[in-house]
Chain A
Amino acid sequence: MGESIRIEQVAFTYPTGIRALRGVSASISPGEAVAIVGENGAGKTTLARHLNGLLHPTSGHVLIGDWDTSKHTVAQLATRVSYSFQNPDDQIFERTVRAEVTFGPRNLGFSADEMESAVQDALSQVGLLSEIDHHPYDLQLSQRKLLTLAATLAMRTPIVILDEPTTGQDAPGVRRIAEIVEHLKAASHTLITITHDLDFAAEHFERVIVMAGGLIIADGPAHDVLAQESTLAAALVDPPQMVRLALALGFDSIPLTPEEFVLALKNKSGRSS
């Protein structure tokens, strides 16, 4: 189901002269789940917008499967990559929830039946099926965020990019998004998220890319990258809570979740007794 991504020496300068990317390279295999972290302005969203062709590199190349993004239109790339915006209000434009979610599948040429099932599926996954005939702006901000997520899911693309998916969500909302992430992973989509929520990244993404100042400064398994205090400090990112706790308590192995923490605690007390 997934598709590969190759980012080759990509630099990008906005028309305003801001150099948002200063030569980044990464290779993502089909079915990988990658979290991109870093402070505001590190270049995370700029990089993500290169993956669906909203931006083209000033130099370097981005390949989605065998397609160079500079040689394909955004519409073509939309068959392979869907992108859920950070601010839902930058994305929503239709008058009903149904129309908003149907827009992607319709433009991808889904049959009427496929379209209906994609829309129903996506809305039920985000818990908005009961709002299907409502105006998007009658929803709360956190629900509008879920709506944009549904619009992305309905496109059923091999690559899914979620920009700050947990923003503004309460605990049940975060749990729902976590379930969707796990579902996408199980279906072998290539999944990329941009997030400030390192605890969320730690719990659901196997690979973490750290960006700072338009560069990738670390890229590897979550367990390795999220335990690198100095790298995270350089990116002005705080390690996940469990990592901070384990480091403060002098653990050798670094847990990423409360469950892993308790396991590490058990091993530690097992050894010392």
Chain B
Amino acid sequence: MIDVQNLSFSYAGFPGMALRGITLAMPKGQLCSIVGPNGAGKSTLCYALSGFIPHFYRGVLKGTVRVSGLDVAESSLGELAGAVGIVVQNPFNQITGARFTVFEEVAFGLENLGVPRDEIISRVAESLALTGLDSMHDQSPFALSGGQQQRLAIAAMIAMRPAVLILDEPTSQLDPIGTREVFGVLRRLAADQHTTIVLVEHKLEWVAAYSDRVIAIVRGQIVADGTARDVLTSDLIEEIGVGSTRLTRAARLARAQKLVDSQAALPVTLVQTIDFFEQKDR
């Protein structure tokens, strides 16, 4: 669904490479999280997967990115719009400013894709329900809170039913309930509609609980790629400044002080950590 071959990119006017030799394949329906310190190239990768690079951000691009069978560099943004959706880091930047209500905002993309009227209405209603915004549909997008705007940006993307959905820190403004709702929506999209999801996220406990796969990036390069448990408990991940969850830290400390005999791999989720300390294999 996503096929990236030897991708490198440097922004016009900025020295240094933002991405260096990224090769990456992602099947349909996979929920993959990208972790890494700020400035590692996570947002740049999101832009490259969604066509913002090279169509909006200029620079030197090497290698190829194919999404849903489209070569991103050779396809127009219009062609890409139906195949890949992106939710950018600051939701405020994503609101069109051209629509007066939440309902119209979500309908905007569908109108541009030429979706029939009845279907627009049903898809918008479905997206607003999925993101918990159904009671807001007549409000101005600018009257919403930060968290609600963030969910609005997600609703607008979901409505377009892209095969690939890219989200850059989609829960940064959300409380734990909002975060849970967003992760729940993403998991349902991956499971039910086989949407391929790429997620940049700092909240490691959520990444650990919901991702099929975790990729770590540092200085524009992939340095780890595997299950959440493998990647997020590795020593490397600590060294590169991603840190580890408190649960992993507790288990690591207990093992270092020989308080557990457990030979099990270090845990990342609450359930894994309970098993680790009760010395059960599940």
Contact = CB atoms under 8 A, between A and B. Distances in A.
B241 A171 contact: yes
A172 B37 CA distance: 8
* Chain A, interface residues (CB within 8 Å), range: 35 or more
Interface in B37-74: 37-39
A87 B146 contact: yes
B147 A262 contact: no
Contact of B145 (A40, A173, A196): A40
Contact of B205 (A40, A140, A236, A241): A241
Contact of B38 (A41, A142, A241, A248): A142
B21 interface: no
Contact of B274 (A39, A40, A89, A245): A245
B37 A40 contact: no
B234 interface: no
A143 B38 CA distance: 9
Contacts, number: 99
B280 to A, nearest CB: 12
A206 to B, nearest CB: 19
Interface stretch (B97-105, B158-166, B167-175, B191-199): B167-175
Contact of B242 (A89, A170, A236, A258): A170
A258 B246 contact: yes
Interface in A258-273: 258-259, 261-262, 265-266, 269
Interface string A156-185: 000000000001111111100000000000
B262 interface: no
Interface in B77-96: 89-90, 92
A249 interface: yes
Nearest to A87: B146
Contacts of B247: 241, 245
B245 interface: yes
Given A40-B175, A199-B246, A237-B176, A249 B38 contact: no
B253 interface: yes
A262 B242 CA distance: 22
A244 B250 CA distance: 13
A151 B260 CA distance: 46
B37 A170 contact: yes
Contacts of B274: 245, 248-249
Contacts of B277: 245, 249, 265
B234 to A, nearest CB: 14
B255 to A, nearest CB: 10
A199 B147 CA distance: 20
A198 B249 CA distance: 16
Contacts of B257: 262, 266
Interface string B247-264: 101100110010100000
A86 interface: yes
B62 to A, nearest CB: 24
B176 A257 contact: no
A238 interface: yes
A44 B256 CA distance: 40
B37 A245 contact: no
A153 interface: no
B140 interface: no
Nearest to A86: B146
Contact of A249 (B241, B243, B278): B278
Contact of B241 (A89, A172, A244, A245): A172
A259 B145 CA distance: 36
A47 B23 CA distance: 49
Contact of A40 (B178, B242, B249): B178
A172 B242 CA distance: 8
Nearest to A266: B259
A167 B243 contact: no
Most buried by A among B89, B250, B253: B250
Interface of B: 36-39, 89-90, 92, 145-147, 169, 172-178, 202, 205, 241-243, 245-247, 249-250, 253-254, 257, 259, 270, 273-274, 277-278
Given A196-B174, A258-B246, 14 more contacts: A40-B147, A40-B175, A87-B92, A89-B90, A89-B92, A141-B90, A170-B36, A170-B202, A170-B241, A171-B202, A196-B175, A262-B253, A262-B259, A266-B257
8 contacts: A40-B177, A89-B92, A141-B90, A168-B169, A170-B242, A249-B274, A258-B250, A262-B253
- Shortest 3 CB-CB contacts between residues of A and residues of B: A171-B243, A258-B250, A258-B249
